Amino acid sequence: MPTLSRSPRPRGFSVVAIALFLATALALAVFPSFVAKPYVMHMGVMLFLAIIQGQAWNVVGGYAGQYSVGHAAYFGVGAYVTMMLLEVSKIPPWWGIWGAILAAVALSAIIGSITFRLRGPYFVLASISVAEIIRLATLHFRDFTRGAEGYLLSEIPTLHLFGAEIVFVGKRPFYYAGLALAVATIAANWAVQHSKLGYYFQAIREDQDAAHSLGIHLSLYKNVALAISAAFTAFAGGFYAMFVKFIDPNIAFGLDVSVQIVLIAIIGGIGTIIGPVIGAMVLVPLSEVLRNPRGLVQVGVLSPDSGVVTFIERYLSNAHLLVYGILVVVVILFAPEGVLGVIRRVVAWGRRRVAARGASPAPA
Amino acid sequence: MTVFLQQVGLFLQYSLSGLLQGGVYALIGIGLTIIFGVMRVINFAHGDLLMLGMYATWLIFTKTGLDPYVALLATVPLLFLWGAFLQKVFINRVLNALPQNQILLTIGLGLIMSNSMMLIFTSDYRILTTSYSSSSFDLLGLSVSQPLLYSFLVTAAITAALFWFLQRTDTGQAIRATAQDRDAAQLMGINVRGTSILSFGIGSALAGAAGALIAPTYYIYPQVGSAFTLKAFVIVVLGGMGSIVGATLGGLIIGVTESLAAAYVASGLKELVVYVLFLGLLLFKPSGLLGKSRA
């Protein structure tokens, strides 16, 4: 049954999985002490960012089954509020980002109350138009948002944390901050999945009408899912603005942003914890290498005069979204349950083979 | 009094320009609504098909100097074949998949199209300037832009031909029957697969024709499609998904709305106004102005 195989097995928790997760996090935390090349750090930060985005979308898209293609709205609000609080009001980002999250959650309540009355394709269209409305408004109301000119970050103040001074220069502080945020997001996602809330979300995904008849308040729980999702997406947006140091309406609110967020979850496998992580691991290195192949030279994978670098620079760096497009088409046609679905199918096939080789022939 | 008359004149002027623009919008909407009606697939690559039409027209114009409206004779068949190919190879495989997977597939195809064009032609803005690009006629004191008028007339001709085709020919009836009830149509001996390929081809050809028609008045660049995709949805939902008459009306309404919003609200906000109206419509009458409400 395809619908059942899609849902995770949330009962109880696996000690092995948690141990593996903590070990990976720890390994990533000590990683910069060995490899500190800026390109590797950059890749790491982008990877963490994508994981946060994918996990955040997963709450509303994967568990609750509401395919929002307008998450750029929350990402952009996160980026803009954090940036404007810093640049205009001189509020440091570690306080400002809470304002951004608050704004995004408030926005999600408004958007949710409008769009969740719609289902299926109508919901998708409504979510896109809301993000477009915000993008166009940001472009138009120049006095408030600086319009197409965007915001350039001047300087992040020094953070005094437990007597230590953290200066946000270079990529390393962002690597640690991103790692911490990604771990926190995954933990939160896990908590949601294993709570009553998570069961409600999944019930809504599988059959709205059945969930409703069981007494689940549809619009309330869809809104809760969206609020959680919006909060983490805004977090990602604020973090992105501080890391990249420049935002404009298209970077923050563009349709591409929404599509990429959905792709991270889809390509990995929606409705699971590990799915967005896999999706990020597939998409981020691919798009980063295509965007800046010189980095591979810096790391030493390719020699500077290698033909690959010039080929990518000349033909592919302008069109890294082409690869996204091809990936989506391939995934939808051949692996609609994402990379994770393929892995599961291969594992199941292997198990069947082993079982068939055992004493009794397996029943069909 | 004179001020009042002047205001009325201006209002008529904006409405007329909007109406002419709306003709092309109708064409985009009709294409999308045929695809949705027959396949129940929401085509997110529709604007990119239009973009291909623009590039084809621009290419023919710069290489041979052929007038964009004459070049339609080449661009329309080209886009028809391309659409039929997309349907046969890609869309046919997801007809029974989840709607979100269909949406993602068409988004992916759109990304492939726009980014391939970027690879070939770079993201530079192209302009196609004809001898009449900025000239206009005078109609009872109102100025009528020549390219807009021509495109409106061609649109009207294409729409009329399409209506005749769908109402009067066997193939057209097969398309309408498939749109009404796919299974029943199949039981009646209609080649549903072939009809689907034909329908996507027609939808794509209409988008391509619209692209050719607006090529003389718009900037041509690889990402131009996405704005039109969203607009096409607004038009189609406005008229009722699957309704061709609805899409025609929807296109005209959106054209006029945009033109008036640009004049009386702000030109930067004309699309925003359209989307806000769209949200309102989705909430209060999701079946569209002409659509029957589905239980």
pLDDT score at A3: 44
Say whether pLDDT at B118 is over 60. Answer: yes
Position B123 in a domain: yes
pLDDT at B77: 93
Count of all residues that appear for chain A in the document: 364
Among candidates A173, A221, A164, A231, which has minimal Cα distance to A196? A221
DSSP conformation letters of B82-118: HHHHHHHHTGGGGTTS-HHHHHHHHHHHHHHHHHHHH
Residue A340 is predicted with a pLDDT of 78
User: Higher model confidence: residue B287 or residue B25?
Assistant: B25
Does any domain span residue B162?
yes
Nearest to A266 among B104, B112, B266 (CB): B104
Do the chains contact at A133 and B119, CB–CB below 8 Å? no
Contact at CB, B107 and A133, closer than 8 angstroms = no
Q: Per the domain annotation, does B290 fall within a domain? A: no
User: B81 pLDDT exceeds 90?
Assistant: yes
Query: In the structure, what pLDDT confidence band is assigned to residue B109 with cuts at 50, 70 and 90?
Result: very high
Q: Check pLDDT > 60 for residue B293.
A: no
Q: How far away is chain A from the Cα of B279, in angstroms, using its nearest Cα? A: 6
Is A318 within 8 Å of chain B by CB? yes
Question: What are the extents of the domains in chain A?
Answer: 2-283+320-357
Best CA proximity match to A279, nearest among A262, A296, A292: A262
Mind listing the pLDDT tens digit for each residue in B228-241? Answer: 988 898 898 888 77
pLDDT given at position A7? 47
Average pLDDT for residues B246-257, to the nearest whole number? 90
Mean of per-residue pLDDT scores for chain B: 85
User: What's the confidence (pLDDT) of residue A13?
Assistant: 58
pTM more than 0.90: no
pLDDT for B112: 92
With H, G, I as helix, E, B as strand and everything else as coil, classify residue B121.
helix
State yes or no: pLDDT of B52 exceeds 90. Answer: yes
B259: in domain: no
> Residue A359 has what pLDDT?
56
Binary contact (A140, B123; C-beta < 8 A): no
pLDDT value for B291: 57
User: By a Cβ cutoff of 8 Å, what residues of chain B touch chain A?
Assistant: 42, 90, 93-94, 97-101, 103-105, 107-112, 114-116, 118-119, 122-123, 226, 230, 233-234, 237, 266, 268-269, 271-272, 275-276, 278-279, 282-283, 286
* DSSP sequence for B140-185: TTEEEEHHHHHHHHHHHHHHHHHHHHHHHSHHHHHHHHHHH-HHHH
Average pLDDT over residues B21-27: 89
Percent of chain B having pLDDT more than 90? 19
CB of A322 within 8 Å of a chain B CB? The answer is yes
Give the pLDDT of residue B85. 94
Which pLDDT belongs to residue B272? 87
Which of B224, B233, B272, B278 is the best mutation test for A, with the most CBs of A within 10 A? B272
Which chain A residues are Cβ-neighbours of B116 within 8 angstroms? 319, 322
Contact between B116 and A327 using a beta-carbon 8 Å cutoff: no
Task: Tally the domains of chain B.
Answer: 1
Q: Which of B100, B103, B118 sits opposite A319 (nearest CB)?
A: B118
Cβ within 8 Å of B, A 59-88: 67, 69
CB pairs under 8 A between A and B: 113
Q: Which residue of A has its CA nearest to B238?
A: A122
Collect all residues of chain A within an 8 Å Cβ-Cβ radius of residue B230: 125, 128-129, 132
The answer, yes or no, to whether residue B207 has pLDDT greater than 90, is: yes
Give the pLDDT confidence score for residue A347 in this predicted structure.
86
In a domain, B251, yes or no: no
Q: What angle do CA B211, B158, B135 make, to 5 degrees?
A: 60
Considering only CB atoms, which chain A residues are within 8 Å of B93?
333
- Residue B64 belongs to domain spanning: 30-223
| A120 part of contact set with chain B, CB < 8 Å | yes
Q: What's the gap in Å between the CA of B283 and the closest CA on chain A?
A: 7
**B170 belongs to a structural domain:** yes
pLDDT < 50 positions in chain A: 1-7, 10-11, 362, 364
pLDDT at B68 over 80: yes
User: Which chain A residues contact residue B119 at CB under 8 A?
Assistant: 315-316, 318-319, 322
- Is residue B231 a part of any domain in this protein? no
Residue B190: CB atoms within 10 Å: 19
